[in-house]
Structure 1
Amino acid sequence: MLVISVLALAGCSSLQVSDGFLGVITPYRIDIVQGNVVTKEQVALIKPGMTRNQVRDAIGSPMLTDMFHADRWDYVFTMKRPGTEPQRRVIVAHFKGDLLDRLEAPDLPSEREFVATIAPLKTPPKPRVLELTDEQRKALPVPARAQAASAPATGPARTYPPLEPS
């Protein structure tokens, strides 16, 4: 019985469910976004000599601050999204005392480029027409005219007794 259990468990570990269960059912995968999105426009606002508070106001709080490297802030951004390439960017701010010495920010995207990587542009939908043109109105069938009501209108015939005695 023990041997059969061990073989069954070993068989379960070899079954791959990364792309789906037996190629039929695909699991739901969530978007994983961690860190600060820093773009070219934000980095353009930062100049050497700015205080820590000014840097924090421009690009946000750092993801990593190390007690052993107090003059270094690390901004890490990672994003894993189904159907797109994983993204990872690291920006390092070096301080001397309370003032920014330098900022290491290799090849950052602009805001437009970043948005394009999040949601690829699809073909734009056709604009919806909310009003008929004159040609479309003329092509509509002419409605039948209601006959003039010469007789007084009568209510529906009752097939049940009245609720209140008369």
Structure 2
Amino acid sequence: MKFNIWTNPAFYTVAGVFALSLFLLVFSIRKYLELKNGSDFEESGGEAEEVQGELPLPAVDEAAQESDAANQTPAAEEYSEPAPAPGDNAELPRASSRAEEFVKGIYENMSSFDGRLKNIEAAFSKISVNKDFTVTFLEDIISDYDSLDKEKIKARIQYLVADLKK
């Protein structure tokens, strides 16, 4: 009897699952690339339109007064101090961006992590030798005392002393 794969429903089930998984793989890669290429710090166009809708518009009379005031020349012109040149060492005040705040948060977490790690290392260094190991080791020496020769007993005791000195 010949086996024909085209008549087997399991083949079509596996083929359908494979096609679905391939489609989902391509879809997820495309979404990942969109998220990766999009910046978290950029505003989307929809947010800007919402903000524009919330801003109050100046009245027509105020706009006319502003244009009249701009056409008149003031008798005494006032000048403000010029901004420092880019080469000057004067620091300009600026607001922190979200990225700067994020980086500051990372540095704070790293410093707290470093402190916690030092505490853990100090706790490990204070841990004394396991007393159960020492007792068990000495009991084994006593039980095997008759069968052990002098050199083996001496080697085991030296090992125990070296372990206790640590």
Q: TM-score range by the shorter chain?
A: under 0.3
Taking structure 2 as the reference length, what is the TM-score of the superposition?
0.22
Taking structure 1 as the reference length, what is the TM-score of the superposition?
0.22
Larger helix share, 1 or 2: 2
